[in-house]
Amino acid sequence: MPVYEYKALDLNGKSLSGIIDAESAPAARQKLRTAKKYPVSVSETTDSADSPAHRKPSLATLFSRVKPLEIATMTRQLSTLIGAGFPLVTALDTLIPQTRSPLFKKTIAQVKDAVIAGQSFAQALEQYPGIFSPLFINMVKAGESSGTLEIILERLADISEKQVALSNRIKTTLAYPIFMSFFGALVLFLLLAFIVPSITTIFADMNQTLPMPTRVLITTSSLFKLYWWLILIGGGALFLIGRILKKTARGIQVIDSIALTAPVTGTMIRKLAVARFSRTLGSLLSNGVSMMPALATVSGITGNVHVAEAVNAASQEVEKGQGLGDSLAASGIFPSLSIQIIQVGEQSGNLESMLVKVADIFENEVEAQLLRITSLLEPAMIVLMGGIVGFIVIAICLPIFEMNQLIK
């Protein structure tokens, strides 16, 4: 069934826009009038040129994306509807008007049309790899083959909600230090580039040698005043270089290697990657996905190319008959605690629950470490800012004190 984008007016004359599925444009207009919406324009958005295989990137698709929370919410609602006895197509149709994101609303409508056309739910989701992860698609595929789609969707919603909650906690913890760092750097930049030079000009006519702190301050502020634009360009260039490196295989390897070996954050990034690997693998195995396809799926969602390479190498060893714990230990990337817990799970036949336990342990450790770092970072930033401002004040006041001594 085609999908139409529309602009309409409600009973109060307020402009509305959205998407609607109908057999034809007149049917779409009639459907809108039935909902007490008076169409201004209706245009079809699904045709052969708009299929996922032929869709060209546009400004709308470049700057719009579906948030993980929206996917988690949709998954939870879909699980509830299917568990209540709704057919899949009816459940998807019910979710379309409840979805706020226009891009996600259109995606759900097109997935519904693909299911009506005879594709499985997993096959329909595979057409949107930028929205639905390999984990999501593989677990849906396992749910359809085993006849437990509502249970799989409920577990997917649990996984998605936990990942979103963890991401939000990390962002909340880091928000204040990042905010302080940005505005502290901005204040120092304005002081050195514009305010200090206007104050230090009074020392130009002094016929005496200025103190060392004052000379350092004058030189630094002069550099900032003359070359502040170069600092901004350099920062922008570094940002662009980082973005370009992230699009090349070699650049990704270098960035991910630095991330894993960084003094403070490297340990946290490693633990988060291992937690993501463990939770995903445990969920796949507990939902009927065999070991080899599960390892192939999780290698692509670890978030670090070196961790993915370690998982792929372990997958080859597991295929030869070696245990998962021993195979992962050979990489040297996975922490020894995770290896020991996985080995215990393999020996006890409880691997799935042990993998989830690994994820819980490392996620909790990362949160605790972040709290410790931020609790130390805030006073350290205050001391650093106070030290720099104190140096500026002393550098300005020293010549004035010397002038007072000469006058006396």
Neighbour tally for 299: CB within 10 Å: 22
Residue 265 CA from chain centroid, whole number: 17
% the chain with pLDDT above 70: 90
Mean pLDDT, residues 235-247 taken together = 82
Q: Please state the domain extents for the chain.
A: 155-408
Q: CA angle, corner 168, sides to 297 and 301, nearest 5?
A: 10
Instruction: Please give the distance of CA 336 from its chain centroid, rounded to a whole number.
Output: 27
Give SS3 for 9.
Answer: strand
CATH fold group of domain 155-408? Receptor-associated Protein (1.20.81)
> Are 99 and 70 within 8 A, CB to CB?
yes
What are phi and psi for residue 21, nearest 5 degrees? -105, 140
**From CA 276, how far away is CA 301, in angstroms rounded?**
8
Quick one: angle between helices 134-146 and 265-286, nearest 10? 20
Task: Note the pLDDT of residue 64.
Answer: 53
The string of pLDDT tens digits covering residues 295-345 is 887 877 777 888 888 888 999 999 888 899 999 998 888 989 999 999 999
User: Is 263 strand, coil or helix?
Assistant: coil
Whether 75 contacts 68, CB under 8 Å? no
For the entire predicted model, the pTM comes to 0.63
